[in-house]
Structure 1
Amino acid sequence: MKSREFPQLGREVSEIGFGAWAIGGTWGEVSEEDARAALHTALDEGVTFIDTADVYGDGRSEKIIGSVLKERSETPVVATKLGRRLDPHVPEGFTPENMEGFVDRSLSNLGVETLDLVQLHCPPTEVYYMPEVFGTMDDLVSKGKLRHYGVSVEKVEEGLKAIEYPNVASVQIIYNMFRQRPADLFLPRAREKGVAVIVRVPLASGLLTGKMTRETTFAEDDHRTFNREGAAFDKGETFAGVPFETALEAVEDLKAVLPGDLPMAQAALKWILMNDAVTVAIPGAKSPDQARSNAGASEAADLPGDVMAAVREIYDTKIAPHVHQRW
């Protein structure tokens, strides 16, 4: 497993991390046994960055992570998030009292005295224009409840605004073969400022594994069933915001240009890692096999220039009209 610098943390992390949304909920049924096994396997494979949130399974994801890490000698970076527990989820809810309450709950769930990294969890855009919210995060650092903080954003605009705040250590953003806009401006700007980039939805909710068909179905409690049009949260989180049928057609085009000796999921992850502004990609895993496959992308050969160009052409012609200006 290769590592990359996470500048403000003062350490390196594995370039493939573990996204712990799926072991929390809204990805269909995942038993605690399978969730624990997937996380153990990821750690065995050299993963040193875990991403979770307080709302993943209403704390289930954080609790599983805390339990597993008590059985291990490693000390990976564990990043969690706050803010989505607000109901309504509005800027006025980001008060010092609410934010500290969320942090205290995550401290309890994870069973630690200090959180490594806490991210604002896709807050309303207005929050990025509220310095007092970032001041509250500074205060929580001063209190010793967290070491660093960052943001998880929906839009490039939000990421560009967030990195104007000097103590924002990281920005989590969707970036994959179906969501290429961050590479145009945001990723170079983040690199210039020494801000880590955490890439979520790297496989477009499983589309970029190449294993889905028009007949593929999902459980009722899987967001790939109920959030395709953004009924529960931003539709960009589900299939990267690309209409399912359109995405399936593009996947077939991608299969024709990607290296035939590399599983498509690994090729999709490698495509992300080809950009050196990326710090860590965080694919999810619901089983040891998935965790092992994800980790294997780190050692895969770089994608040739003609392949990268072909992927961009497919994006420009089939995908960009649906997503490029929206996020």
Structure 2
Amino acid sequence: MQNRLLGKSGLALTEIGLGCWQLGGDFGPISEADSLAILDQAYQSGVRFYDTADVYGAGLSEQVLGKFYQQHNDICIATKVGRDASLFPGKYTKQGLQQGIESSLQRLGGDSIDLIQLHCIPYPVMQDGEVFTWLQDFKQQGLIQHYGASVESMDEAKLCLNDPQLTSLQLIINIFRQDALSEVLNLAEQKNVGVIARLPYASGLLSGAVTAQRTFADSDHRNYNQNGAAFHVGETFAGLPLEKALSLLEQLTALLPDNRSMAECTIRWLLDQPQITSVITGASKPQQINQNVTYAQQAPLSNELHTRLANFYQQHVSPWVRGNR
């Protein structure tokens, strides 16, 4: 597994990171034993970067990850703060944010948090700027080592890049959501801010896990948030209407060379962007981790294929993407 530096932080992250939302049981019940098996498989496959949040299972994901960290303290853990009901959407205070971070640290263990990320907090709160001052203070105190922001739109990403101490941006980037390439990645590189790509498979669309016949559990956001009813629409199927996305996927697959799968091209397309530090991939089964690591080790896509994918996005996908601004 190759490492890449995360912006100005000096942290070396593995190109593939493990997203730990599913360990909170938000996609359906999962035992602690199964959660630890997924974490262990990721570790055995070379993954050393794990991404979670305080609201994943109301702290359960952090708790399980903290147990794993006790035996594997060479991993890098990034967590998020700011979506808990004690803060979101309009109750942000320095004391409240600090309490949230301290609670995460208690669940995760260790002396301080490697990377804390604002968790898709409202644009006006970020625009006010005070929240970044608080994070700077927490960093100076040693509560956190570095801070970044997980955002949902291009405007939010560019706003966060105004903070000179920002270490990272976590963005929704995939073949079905490419605007960050032209609007954010070069600017982030200029600011020496690392980029963490999330939702690489567009909620399973680009991995082949979603079909017209697929049904989702009531607790699965792919059931209840297809049109942004619960949270930002871009978090589900990259903001595309599902029926249209499946049609586009069929057309897109026809553009690929016979020897490369859609899932492989999805991961390689992201890692071919030099500004991207790590790609967060979720996994509900250990074998999925092995596949993602294998994809990361394949040869880059050809320039011709990159051009083909970019043109397809602009001509056919972009007009249907919701929630990108």
TM-score, scaled relative to structure 2? 0.96
Q: What corresponds to 2:145 in structure 1? A: 147
Distance 1:219 1:102 in 2: 29
Summarize the alignment of residues 9-48 of structure 1 with structure 2, pairs less than 5 Å apart. 9-48=9-48
Structure 1 runs not aligned, ≥5 long: none
Preserved CA contact (<8 Å) 1:179 1:324: no
Distance 1:256 1:316 in 2: 17
- What is the SS of the residue equivalent to 2:71? coil
User: Across the two proteins, how many residue pairs are aligned to each other?
Assistant: 325
Q: What corresponds to 1:78 in structure 2? A: 77
Q: What corresponds to 2:284 in structure 1? A: 286
Distance 2:10 2:61 in 1: 26
Change (3 A) 1:284 1:175: same
Change (3 A) 1:216 1:23: same
Q: How much identity, in percent, do the aligned residues show?
A: 39
Out of 191, 194, 201, the residue aligned to residue 192 of structure 2 is 194
TM-score, scaled relative to structure 1? 0.95
Out of 211, 233, 236, the residue aligned to residue 213 of structure 1 is 211
Describe the superposition over 1:25-81 as per-residue Cα deviations: whole angstroms up to 9, x where unpaired. 332333322221111111111112111000011111111111112222x51210000
Preserved CA contact (<8 Å) 2:147 2:166: yes
Structure 2 runs not aligned, ≥5 long: none
Asked if 1:62 is matched to 2:59, the reply is no
Distance 1:240 1:57 in 2: 22
What is the CA distance between 1:284 and its match in structure 2?
0.5
- What is the SS of the residue equivalent to 2:258? coil
Please provide the CA RMSD for this pair: 1.5
Change (3 A) 1:52 1:99: same
Distance 2:241 2:206 in 1: 14
Distance 1:35 1:210 in 2: 23
Q: Indicate the larger mover: 31-40 or 163-172.
A: 31-40
Q: Indicate the larger mover: 18-27 or 267-276.
A: 18-27
Describe the superposition over 1:227-249 as per-residue Cα deviations: whole angstroms up to 9, x where unpaired. 11112110110111111111111
Summarize the alignment of residues 90-169 of structure 1 with structure 2, pairs less than 5 Å apart. 90-91=89-90, 93-169=91-167
> Which structure would you say has the larger RCO, counting Cα contacts within 8 Å and 6 or more residues apart?
1
What is the CA distance between 1:324 and its match in structure 2?
6.8
What is the CA distance between 1:87 and its match in structure 2?
5.0
What is the CA distance between 1:297 and its match in structure 2?
1.9
Aligned-partner residue type, residue 315 of structure 1: Y
Preserved CA contact (<8 Å) 2:234 2:323: no
Asked if 1:321 is matched to 2:319, the reply is yes
What is the CA distance between 1:131 and its match in structure 2?
2.2
Summarize the alignment of residues 188-267 of structure 1 with structure 2, pairs less than 5 Å apart. 188-267=186-265
Describe the superposition over 1:303-324 as per-residue Cα deviations: whole angstroms up to 9, x where unpaired. 1122212222322233201227
Aligned-partner residue type, residue 8 of structure 1: K
